[in-house]
Amino acid sequence: MSGRAQLMWDEAVTGYNFGPGHPMDPVRLSLTMRLVEAFGLDRALRTVAAPAAGESTLRLVHRPDYISAVRRASADPRSADGSYGLGTPDDPAFAGMHEAAALIAGQSVAAAEAIWRGEVLHAVNFAGGLHHAMPGGASGFCVYNDPALAIARLLELGAERVAYVDVDVHHGDGVQAAFWEDPRVLTVSLHEHPRTLFPQTGWPEETGAADAEGGAVNVALPAGTGDAGWLRAFHAVVPELLAAFRPQVLVTQHGADTHFEDPLAHLAVSLDAQRLVAEACHALAHEHAEGRWLALGGGGYAVADVVPRSWTHLVAIAAGQPVEPGSPMPEEWRSEVYRRTRELGPLRMTDGVEPEWRDFSSGGYDPADRLDQAILATRRSVFPAHGLLP
């Protein structure tokens, strides 16, 4: 390896902007990068700005007619009428939309290429993780599906087994759909139950097509799940599946919208638990994928208080220089937060909790507990397909 870690960043990704009042405020990206810089993490890894994904790359996942529709809406936003999911309240068209979305996708694809070619061990694109976009349409604030494009590029380069683990509060439906029939890709999504949250998919019974049975894994968590349940579910499902699947590359999506402050969902996870899962993904990449790890951002709509801290921890872990949770926030960064948002910003890199959780396999199963019911439903649905006991 010529380098341990790579951070994908081009300031122009903040042009992915659905407009005033939309939850996907690009200030969350710029504030994250400023916090990475304030902690000096940009000097601990190589920062790279890759070109936008071109037409042939986008077609690895997206239909030509959809790409053409994005280009038209990008050139004339007023022409978007809701077809292809463009011009909707979730995905309003904006000038330059194709270019901004393709740029974000280009960062994830280039990161995957660098990892596969052995140029770097870990790569992070926190502007990425746009996991709802479908082959033929925009959805859930996502125009092009950069996680799926990165995975598709890995397969094109010769990867035979790629695992995708998504811990965003919303189901990673677009990535699941892209590889529903492909046994080379294992998609694992832990998310709030589809009864209570968009996109109303991600049931444990969704396990992949007949020729890829067990290739889709869904853990549907009850609304209100906090640190103990979230960590219990992650460790009850992900490590065993990765050990059985033996991925050559691990791709992870770290939407910060599981946080208890997030305005769009109903889980109650702390920043500290999010950091522990990022650490676990890093360790699992080393244990099962020879360290090859592509980490992406995703959702997260507490744009000043949560997202920058969560993803700065992610970058720090990938860089091999984890930030002490009790570290005070740099004053110059808090000044930038106030200037940009008129919020005061957090004081420390922690929510002040030390999450604890009980191991599912050794800690006993409570048949009356909704969280344990969710875990067991997933294990029963997919573990036998991987030769594992539920």
Q: Which residues are catalytic?
A: 132
C-beta of residue 285 within 8 angstroms of C-beta of residue 247? no
Tell me the torsion sign for CA atoms 376, 377, 378, 384: positive
- Residues with Cβ within 8 Å of residue 264, at least 6 apart in sequence: 23, 169, 257, 299, 301
Amino acid at 353: V
Locate 127 and state its tokens.
């502007």
CA distances from 145 to 154, 185, 221 (A): 14, 15, 24
Given a contact cutoff of 8 angstroms between Cβ atoms, the answer to whether 32 and 311 are in contact is yes
Rounded to an integer, what distance in angstroms lies between the CA atom of residue 176 and that of residue 238? 16
3-state DSSP assignment of residue 33: helix
Maximum alpha-carbon separation in the chain: 58
In angstroms, rounded to a whole number, what is the distance separating the alpha carbons of residues 79 and 89?
15
Q: Which single residue is written with the structure tokens 């869904």? A: 218
Contacts of 167 (CB under 8 A, 6+ apart): 190, 234, 252, 253, 254, 255, 258, 274, 277
What is the C-alpha separation between 288 and 116, in angstroms, rounded? Answer: 15
In b/e form, how buried is each residue of 226-265, taking b as 16+ CB within 10 angstroms?
bbebbbbbbbbbbbbbbeebebbbbbbbbbbbbbbbbeeb
Q: Tokens 């125009």 appear where? A: 143
How far is residue 175 from each of residues 211, 212, 231, measured CA to CA in Å? Answer: 17, 14, 23
Alpha-carbon distance 314 to 210, whole Å? Answer: 36
